[in-house]
């Protein structure tokens, strides 16, 4: 079964007369168990997509289905939201309790799990997000990055089948971002959790199975990171850029170094560069 399916979806915000259409006749399928990076400039409809998936928004036209359930059916929403967890960009928008542990407990309590299970979920979520040390801290006293980790813990505690990260690592330090992505990656591989990662970090998109570029309300490109980052014109047109190492590799190639194609990470750039310079 497809985890998520958008069928000819149109969506616009605002009143009848002052409408600005964000998605136009938009179709998309996301396979269960895949790890998808969603890219596009600010205002390209990425967050709108995320909110359409868990029924925070309902399409004006067309349908969005999650594991076959339409988001337009009110009766489906509880089940959809249980299965599709979402972490917003600004953690302040989704933190409820004043103490970290209670905040992470909110989701599992809400879906009616028993006490033992809730405790297990909280322990796991705090551990993998590196927030164990803040268990008894006040949420309001945490730094932006710490709050983001707690928000991610809250989503993981529900053990969703789909995890939607809407720029949820933007306030983390580089290592923190790597760690969180590693956790998400592991849940994706071991538990088959479908991940949709909305990001402006091209280096993060390189790690995904599939990359999707949104622009002008439609899917501009869809494919593996290698395929997508080879399409330099679409990348530029959509306000994106190559991953940093790819950019440096391009400049080095222009300067006459035969480094070859397909360099997207610093590791592969380092490998090719060392190989080339060792020989001379």
Instruction: Using DSSP bridges, classify how beta strands 61-66 and 35-39 pair: parallel, antiparallel or unpaired.
Output: unpaired
Indicate whether 141 belongs to the interface with another protein (CB under 8 A). Answer: yes
- Binding flags for another protein, 170-209, as an x/- string (CB under 8 A): xxxxxxxx----------------------x-x-------
Distance separating alpha carbons of residues 86 and 94, to the nearest angstrom: 10
For the chain, the distance separating the N- and C-terminal CA atoms, rounded to the nearest angstrom, is: 53
Query: What is each CA distance from 261 to 67, 141, 226, in whole angstroms?
Result: 38, 47, 10
| String of DSSP letters for 78-122 | HHHHHHEEEE-SSGGGT--SSBHHHHHHHHHHHTT--HHHHHHHH
Indicate whether 145 belongs to the interface with another protein (CB under 8 A). Answer: yes
Q: Which of residues 147-166 bind another protein (CB under 8 A)?
A: 149
* Among residues 19, 25, 29, 144, the one that binds another protein under rule CB under 8 A: 144
Indicate whether 50 belongs to the interface with another protein (CB under 8 A). Answer: no
Distance separating alpha carbons of residues 260 and 140, to the nearest angstrom: 50
Query: What is each CA distance from 45 to 9, 39, 67, 118, in whole angstroms?
Result: 12, 10, 22, 35
Query: Nearest approach, Cβ of 65 to another protein (angstroms)?
Result: 29
Closer by beta carbon to another protein, 5 or else 166: 166
Query: Nearest approach, Cβ of 8 to another protein (angstroms)?
Result: 26
Region binding another protein by CB under 8 A among candidate stretches 108-116, 120-128, 185-193, 236-244: 236-244
Region binding another protein by CB under 8 A among candidate stretches 26-34, 70-78, 189-197, 271-279: 271-279
Closer by beta carbon to another protein, 70 or else 90: 90
CA angle 52–230–22, rounded 5-degree value: 25
Query: Nearest approach, Cβ of 40 to another protein (angstroms)?
Result: 7
Total interface residues for another protein by CB under 8 A: 47
Q: What share of the chain is helix, strand, coil (3-state, %, to 5)?
A: 45, 25, 30
Distance separating alpha carbons of residues 153 and 104, to the nearest angstrom: 6
Closer by beta carbon to another protein, 193 or else 213: 213
Query: Nearest approach, Cβ of 18 to another protein (angstroms)?
Result: 9
* Among residues 2, 7, 21, 41, the one that binds another protein under rule CB under 8 A: 41
Instruction: Using DSSP bridges, classify how beta strands 20-31 and 2-13 pair: parallel, antiparallel or unpaired.
Output: antiparallel
Site for another protein, rule CB under 8 A: 40-43, 89-90, 137-138, 141-146, 149, 167, 170-177, 200, 202, 239-241, 244-245, 247-248, 251-252, 255-257, 266, 269-270, 273-274, 276-278, 280
């Amino acid at each position: 079964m497809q985890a998520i399916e958008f069928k000819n979806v149109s969506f616009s915000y605002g009143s009848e007369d002052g409408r600005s259409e964000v998605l136009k006749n938009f179709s998309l399928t996301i396979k269960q168990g895949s790890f998808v990076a969603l890219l596009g400039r600010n205002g390209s409809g990425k967050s709108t997509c995320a909110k359409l998936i868990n029924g925070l928004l309902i399409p004006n036209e067309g349908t969005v289905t999650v594991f076959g359930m339409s988001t337009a059916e009110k009766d489906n929403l509880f089940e959809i939201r249980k299965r599709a967890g979402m972490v917003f960009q600004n953690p302040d928008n989704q933190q409820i309790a004043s103490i970290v542990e209670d905040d992470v407990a909110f989701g599992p309590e809400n879906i009616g799990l028993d006490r033992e299970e809730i405790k297990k979920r909280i322990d796991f979520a705090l551990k993998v997000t590196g927030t164990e040390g803040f268990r008894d801290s006040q949420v309001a006293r945490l730094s932006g990055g710490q709050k983001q980790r707690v928000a991610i813990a809250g989503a993981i505690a529900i053990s969703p089948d789909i995890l939607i990260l809407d720029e949820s690592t933007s306030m983390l330090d580089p290592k923190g971002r790597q760690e969180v992505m590693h956790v998400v990656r592991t849940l994706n591989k071991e538990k088959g959790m479908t991940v949709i990662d909305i990001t402006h970090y091209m280096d993060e998109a390189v790690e995904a199975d599939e990359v999707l570029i949104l622009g002008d309300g439609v899917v501009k490109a869809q494919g593996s990171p290698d395929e997508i980052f080879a399409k330099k014109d679409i990348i530029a047109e959509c306000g994106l850029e190559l991953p940093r190492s790819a950019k440096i590799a391009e400049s080095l190639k222009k300067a006459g170094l035969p480094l070859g194609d397909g360099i997207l990470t610093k590791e592969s750039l380092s490998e090719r560069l060392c190989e080339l310079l060792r020989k001379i």
